[in-house]
Structure 1
Amino acid sequence: MAPAEASALNQVQRRAVGELLRVSPVADDLGRRFEQAGFRLALVGGSVRDALLGRLGNDLDFTTDARPEQVLKILRGWADAVWEVGIAFGTVGCRKADAAGNDFQIEVTTYRSEAYDRDSRKPEVSYGDTIEEDLVRRDFTVNAMAVSLPGIEFVDPHNGLEDLARRVLRTPGTPQESFSDDPLRMMRAARFAAQLDFDVAPEVVAAMTEMADRISIVSAERVRDELNKLVCGAYPRKGLQLLVDTGLADRVLPELPALRLERDEHHRHKDVYEHTLTVLEQAIALEESGPDPVLRLAALLHDIGKPKTRRFEPDGRVSFHHHEVVGAKLTKARMTKLKYPNDEVKAVSRLVELHLRFHGYGSGEWTDSAVRRYVRDAGPLLERLHKLTRSDCTTRNKKKAAALARTYDSLEARIAQLKEQEELDAIRPDLDGNEIMEILGVPAGPVVGKAYKHLLELRLENGPMAHDEAVAALKEWWAGQR
């Protein structure tokens, strides 16, 4: 091993000692209970990896030779709470507080081996008898390490520690066998690249490319969860590029590789694919309190309507008229297919639809009416729309970028100014439905809705009206209707 690699290895080992000492009272106590019952217990997988990276949290994963019913018996009376949600797959969960009051979320899984047949979306689970059996079935070598308890013995049959020091993802066995057992591991490779900034070994990339079609047997929900974790990682560009380069994106998010539009010397336009990845990174830089999946997905999908709307104009320019409208429909369709919650589908689609609204107001001389409509249309998504719009500027022309930023600064100042004068966050007509019915002498029905909409348009156009003015405007409208 090279000196630099040896030094990196020593660093991860030192970090691991500190992290494991922090959780050792709970882990050792649990290990002794399993030992006294005649079973083996080990901290395993992501918990060991994160300890070695110095980022171990309070979620701890263990593996054991005890069967789930025996695990339940050991945990009851020791844990503060026990749940059996994953028991069909050999996993029992519990919560345990240490002497300092720190809560640990613990999962204990029986040694197991799981695999898909060619057509199944669900794994077949069988239990193993040794930790070596369990570790060889794991997705990557950096997740195939364990620490036996209570004696704290390091178990690393696949050299995961060296791979961790090198920051590389390899599989314990051949990648073909691993991805055949569970095709979702191909998505996990991209996800870990995005979360940890790891490189994926060439043979693993080759297997992902060769076996990309295999992802089709995995449920949309599991694919969605991995995609979400990838997009919310610290380095999503790295994971997304891997999905595109291996062809996995063609199966799970085809709108992304479709952005790699062909260009020629006569019809020049921005590289939409690279632009999209840059917009995503710029949106991340504007986040204020951790990853915002709605903002990140909107940034990733904001231009997916461009391939369907591209037109070559007579003067040599390339246009993408109404790509935001087409993109919103494509966003809704893709997110629905991936089983995203309805509220997230609605929010991301709306941001995609609105992302060009700012540019429709020319030089930035916003009227009060335009500001009100902008705020009304964005609704609770306004702050995200601010971030998305600012992120969408990727020009290398510093003068142009500065001008756009100043223009948007001006818009935000106008919004703040009007918010002080009016209730922009809850714009509504100056008369409610009951008042409309009473003034016009009509029952509830379509007429009231039309009158309400007319008054709302007046409110957006002219701002608040006094009660008498609103009544007069309503009567004038009603006279015209009759």
Structure 2
Amino acid sequence: MNYSFLCLLLATRCTNVQRVAICNLGGVRLCRVGYRCADSAVGLNEALWYYAPMDKAEKILHDWQHQALKTKALAFYQPLINRYPKAGVYLVGGMVRDLLLGRETKDFDFVITKVGEKALITFLKKYGRVNLVGKMFGVIKFTPPSIREDEAIDIALPRLDKPGKGTGAYRDVTIVRRATLSILDDLVRRDYTVNAIAWSLTEKKLIDPANGISDLKKKLLRTVGESAQRFQEDYSRLLRGLRFSVVLGFGFAPQTWTSLKSLTKKLNAKVDDEFVVPREVIARELLKTFLVDPVAALTMYDKSGALSVLIPEIEATKRCPQPRRFHTEGSVWKHTILALSALRSRAYRRWITEEPDAELVVTVLLHDLAKPTMLRTPSTNKVDRVRFDGHDVVGGKMARAIAERLKLASPAVASGLHVDPANLEWLIGHHLILLHARPSEMKLTTIERYFVSHPLAHKLKALLLADTLGIIPADGRSYTKHLVELEAVLKKLCSTRSHKLPSPLLGGEEIMAYLKIGSGPKVGFLKRKLREEQLLGSVKTKAAAKRFLKNLHGKTNL
């Protein structure tokens, strides 16, 4: 069938419901041109109608709606329309964008017009849980029984954002939310054009006042309206833009990119000794971005100037040389990029299959942060070669300070974004452990302490692997031999491939009771020696353990 503007005067026996059903099946829009009799009140069935083909974007969203309304999550929709026939229900924001890009998404985000806030809340409570945690921003978190709490649907009234003092702090923006505002009012106050697209479920049409679909096709991020003004309303939009660029693989429109770079210094701005952009917001955006693609994130943060503003300590790594005998890749900065890229490499996956969390990514990012500080060269310090003695311990302390400054621990642990400053310090402080001694030369209790029993044991091995894969040695051979050796020791040591060790034969309390001694350094010494013998396989039973202790106790003066 040729759908292009095929005008038909539909028979009066064909109802509007039937017309819509035909269009839904055919993937076309049903449009009304006008009435046959302009001077008389004719019925709707006597109007002149035509079929017009849907474009690709409309077809995608039309098909999505057809399927989505069958789900229990959107069971509230039809009763809402029945109760409030004049209501407008619009899918907005990132979900529209991601659907049009073919990206998987579950982040329902709706704007509902022409229904008062109190009436809307009362209605929604009949169909699920209503959480008003985002109510100050006009957002209702709605959780139908069929979905999890962390998949709550965002529902809001249309709103306007009126800039306040021009500080760049979102808290200074005056939010006006009213059921009588239009969807256009809501869309034009949004950050980027690709996020300012709406799909009307009630009218089955796209609303795109800022040409966001065009920018989606061009893979461009462009602000809605004048860029500098839009950023100055809320400086956190600078980091949101960097995140969208990394997540979507988009570039920036020239004016938007110029404004973004010129304003990144404002990320540390303060008003009345309080940060304009809360550090918790900084942490969330930075960690989300680096978790998606560490190298792309580092590149974007560096090019935009955000990196030097938020983590200025890392700038010196760009100019910090490394001994060419061990690091032909060049500077510490280049090594860091290679180590980050290793987290997504096949070589890394051969050793570790779990996806890295934000804590591991940040650890790799900052693991050599102290090399410029600890740099010693033959010409300046009369050493045999370029050295960074102690950069592991010093770097751990520096990383901890950065994590505390940026509040990287503020995201919830379950989010995968949480970064514990103490964990950073411990991991970076021990990232040279296999360079200080070969695994085959270590005490088995040391292997157990760092690579089995410690809660960060698995993450330490992941850090060592990424660090190793980020090195290009002069002879071209991989430095993974110390990791191979470690795995061999662990395999002999442990009863299963999950590196599960046998439980200690005797604990401290049992040792004190058997030898009739009080607590003190000797108990710890005896406990460690017994554990070493157990792991070596020399002592296998409690009876043998007691004989070993009795003999050692008599020879030890502590």
Give TM-score scaled by structure 1 length.
0.84
Q: How big is each residue's C-alpha offset from its partner over 1:366-408, in whole Å with a ceiling of 9 and x where there is no partner? A: 13x4454133124132222222212213234595443x22432
Instruction: Supply the distance in 1 between the matched residues of 2:322 and 2:445 (Cα, whole angstroms).
Output: 42
Question: Residue 90 of structure 2: SS of its match in structure 1?
Answer: strand
Question: Residue 113 of structure 1: SS of its match in structure 2?
Answer: strand
User: Are 1:283 and 1:295, in contact at CA under 8 Å, matched by a contact in 2?
Assistant: no
Structure with more helix by fraction = 1
- Give 2:287's aligned amino acid: N
Instruction: Supply the distance in 2 between the matched residues of 1:396 and 1:240 (Cα, whole angstroms).
Output: 20
Q: CA deviation at 1:454?
A: 1.4
Change (3 A) 1:264 1:339: closer
User: Are 1:138 and 1:172, in contact at CA under 8 Å, matched by a contact in 2?
Assistant: yes
Q: How big is each residue's C-alpha offset from its partner over 1:140-185, in whole Å with a ceiling of 9 and x where there is no partner? A: 1111111012222101111111111221111111221111111011
- Give 1:271's aligned amino acid: S
Determine which of 226, 250, 274 is the counterpart of 1:198: 250
* Alignment correspondent of 1:331: 399
- Give 2:263's aligned amino acid: M
1:458 counterpart = 2:549: no
Instruction: Supply the distance in 1 between the matched residues of 2:226 and 2:450 (Cα, whole angstroms).
Output: 52
Q: CA deviation at 1:221?
A: 0.7
Q: How big is each residue's C-alpha offset from its partner over 1:324-369, in whole Å with a ceiling of 9 and x where there is no partner? A: 11111112111122223387323333221222212222xx4613x4
Considering only CA atoms, is the larger Rg found in Structure 1 or Structure 2? 2
Stretch of structure 1 that moved more, 14-23 or 187-196: 14-23
Q: How big is each residue's C-alpha offset from its partner over 1:126-147, in whole Å with a ceiling of 9 and x where there is no partner? A: 2261222211221211111110
- The 5-angstrom pairing of residues 387-466 of structure 1 reads 387-392=462-467, 393-397=469-473, 400-402=476-478, 404-420=479-495, 431-439=506-514, 441-443=516-518, 448-459=519-530, 461-464=532-535, 465=539, 466=545
- The 5-angstrom pairing of residues 252-263 of structure 1 reads 252-261=310-319
Instruction: Supply the distance in 1 between the matched residues of 2:459 and 2:150 (Cα, whole angstroms).
Output: 33
Q: CA deviation at 1:218?
A: 0.7
* Alignment correspondent of 2:440: 366
- The 5-angstrom pairing of residues 38-437 of structure 1 reads 38-65=86-113, 66-77=115-126, 79-96=127-144, 105-114=152-161, 115=163, 117=165, 118=167, 120=169, 122-124=171-173, 125-127=175-177, 129-216=181-268, 217-233=276-292, 235-261=293-319, 270-285=330-345, 286=349, 288-313=353-378, 314=382, 317-341=385-409, 344-361=420-437, 364=438, 366-367=440-441, 369-378=442-451, 379-392=454-467, 393-397=469-473, 400-402=476-478, 404-420=479-495, 431-437=506-512
Q: How big is each residue's C-alpha offset from its partner over 1:23-73, in whole Å with a ceiling of 9 and x where there is no partner? A: 234558526615742432210000101111222433200113345323212
Instruction: Supply the distance in 2 between the matched residues of 1:24 and 1:103 (Cα, whole angstroms).
Output: 21
- Give 1:303's aligned amino acid: D
Change (3 A) 1:412 1:17: farther
User: Are 1:190 and 1:238, in contact at CA under 8 Å, matched by a contact in 2?
Assistant: no
* Alignment correspondent of 1:3: none
Instruction: Supply the distance in 1 between the matched residues of 2:151 and 2:204 (Cα, whole angstroms).
Output: 19
Instruction: Supply the distance in 2 between the matched residues of 1:246 and 1:201 (Cα, whole angstroms).
Output: 14
Instruction: Supply the distance in 2 between the matched residues of 1:103 and 1:348 (Cα, whole angstroms).
Output: 28
Q: Could you tell me which runs of 5 or more consecutive residues in structure 2 were left unpaired when the two chains were aligned.
A: 1-53, 269-275, 410-417, 540-544
- Give 1:310's aligned amino acid: L
Q: CA deviation at 1:230?
A: 0.5
Q: How big is each residue's C-alpha offset from its partner over 1:443-469, in whole Å with a ceiling of 9 and x where there is no partner? A: 5xxxx2412331344246544542221
- Give 1:48's aligned amino acid: V
Instruction: Supply the distance in 1 between the matched residues of 2:214 and 2:158 (Cα, whole angstroms).
Output: 24
Q: CA deviation at 1:417?
A: 1.1
Change (3 A) 1:365 1:474: same
- The 5-angstrom pairing of residues 467-482 of structure 1 reads 467-477=546-556, 480-481=557-558
Change (3 A) 1:12 1:389: farther
- Give 1:297's aligned amino acid: V
- Give 1:272's aligned amino acid: V
Change (3 A) 1:471 1:105: same
Question: Residue 319 of structure 1: SS of its match in structure 2?
Answer: coil
Q: CA deviation at 1:75?
A: 1.2
1:21 counterpart = 2:55: no
Q: How big is each residue's C-alpha offset from its partner over 1:199-257, in whole Å with a ceiling of 9 and x where there is no partner? A: 12232222122112322211111111111111111x33222222222221223222333
What fraction of aligned residue pairs are identical, expressed as a percent? 25
Instruction: Supply the distance in 2 between the matched residues of 1:82 and 1:142 (Cα, whole angstroms).
Output: 29
Change (3 A) 1:43 1:93: same
Instruction: Supply the distance in 2 between the matched residues of 1:423 and 1:264 (Cα, whole angstroms).
Output: 36
Change (3 A) 1:371 1:188: farther
- Give 1:21's aligned amino acid: H
Q: How big is each residue's C-alpha offset from its partner over 1:89-118, in whole Å with a ceiling of 9 and x where there is no partner? A: 1111112367x9999631112222334632
Instruction: Supply the distance in 2 between the matched residues of 1:246 and 1:104 (Cα, whole angstroms).
Output: 32
Q: Indicate the RMSD between aligned Cα atoms, in angstroms.
A: 3.4
User: Are 1:244 and 1:250, in contact at CA under 8 Å, matched by a contact in 2?
Assistant: yes
Q: CA deviation at 1:190?
A: 1.3
Instruction: Supply the distance in 1 between the matched residues of 2:252 and 2:401 (Cα, whole angstroms).
Output: 31
- Give 1:183's aligned amino acid: Y
Question: Residue 171 of structure 2: SS of its match in structure 1?
Answer: coil
Instruction: Supply the distance in 2 between the matched residues of 1:84 and 1:281 (Cα, whole angstroms).
Output: 41
- Give 1:411's aligned amino acid: L
Change (3 A) 1:23 1:173: same
User: Are 2:112 and 2:158, in contact at CA under 8 Å, matched by a contact in 1?
Assistant: yes
- Give 1:328's aligned amino acid: G
User: Are 2:247 and 2:289, in contact at CA under 8 Å, matched by a contact in 1?
Assistant: yes
Change (3 A) 1:19 1:423: closer
